[in-house]
Amino acid sequence: MENLNAIKKRIKSVNDISQMTNAMQLVSAAKKRRSLVMHEAMYPFFSLCLESMRELRSKTGNLDNPFFDLEQKSAGETWKIGYFVLSGDQGLAGAYNNNMVKITEEHVNRKILENTRKGITTEYKLYVFGKPAREKLARSGMNVDDEFSFPISEPDFYQARNVGAIIRNKFLDKEFDLVYLIYTKTGKAATMEPVALRLLPVDDKSIAAVLPDNLENPGMAVQGEDAIEYWPSMNSVFNYLVDTYLNAMIYGAMVEAYASEQTARLTAMDNATSNAEDMMKKLLLMNNRARQAKITNELTEIINGAQQADNL
């Protein structure tokens, strides 16, 4: 049987771990509640902006605008793709960060394979929110921008606006032909769903994918058959709306990613605390058995000693 002192040391160690994981669970629960408040506050603006973009796009048809025009590539040409990956800032969130790495690698490799089959070269660069996933992607040989560093904790609209400005400028400077946003959003019953959507050029399918399923009467904000008049020009209106669209999409993704990270950490810490409690029960049982065995041995030694004294 294991030494009694060793069991006591293990009990103390497990108890310390249990207290730490329980504290982290409470912190994650509080952060998750804050993230839900942030999500509820931003979602009306987020949905309205995306629906407005989809609505105006449908009313104008083909628009000669770089943010809407997807240039097709032929064999021998190159697709330049920028990926903005929203992962967690910290560890101890189960497989959350590893899953973000896996999703990103799969999407990049799939794009490279699809383009290679068409005779098209692929150049890409990853801009990763969160240190753990950024380091793992870099170690796996992915092309990661080391200078891009934005926290995902406590996201605010100013951060989203700064990132949106970076994306807008790089896209207009022809550094990218495509820009993708990769993150995880929380669903019902604390489920998490990976999302990889095309941010630029503006994609109707991506917009539809993030709008609520129960949206009633889509495209009804502008009614009637009369043509929409834009002032001072159509491109000016769309350029302004694109800025708002980028900021809304990025901020919405940041809030979703933050909520997903807290959900993953809350689940991981809850499991860790439960495992520590189960281990504590086993260790206490081992401790009682070891203590009883020690007492039995001491009693046996006392009885044997008394018998020897009587025989003298």
d(CA 290, CA 153): 47
- State the distance between the two ends of the chain, measured CA to CA, in whole angstroms: 34
Strands 192-200, 78-86: pairing kind: unpaired
Where b means 16+ CB within 10 Å and e means fewer, 240-272 reads ebbebbbbbbbbbbbbbbbbbbbbbbbbbbbeb
Q: Return the pLDDT at 154.
A: 78
pLDDT band at 220 (very low <50, low <70, confident <90, very high): very low
Domain segments of the chain as ranges? 4-21+268-305, 33-264
Share of the chain above pLDDT 90, in %: 22
Q: Return the pLDDT at 85.
A: 94
d(CA 295, CA 31): 49
4-21+268-305: CATH topology is Helix Hairpins (1.10.287)
Enter the DSSP assignment of 146.
Answer: T
Specify the length of the chain in residues: 312
Provide the CATH number for the domain formed by 33-264 in this structure: 3.40.1380.10
Q: Which range has the worst mean pLDDT, 152-166, 220-234, 282-296?
A: 220-234
pTM reported for the whole predicted model: 0.79
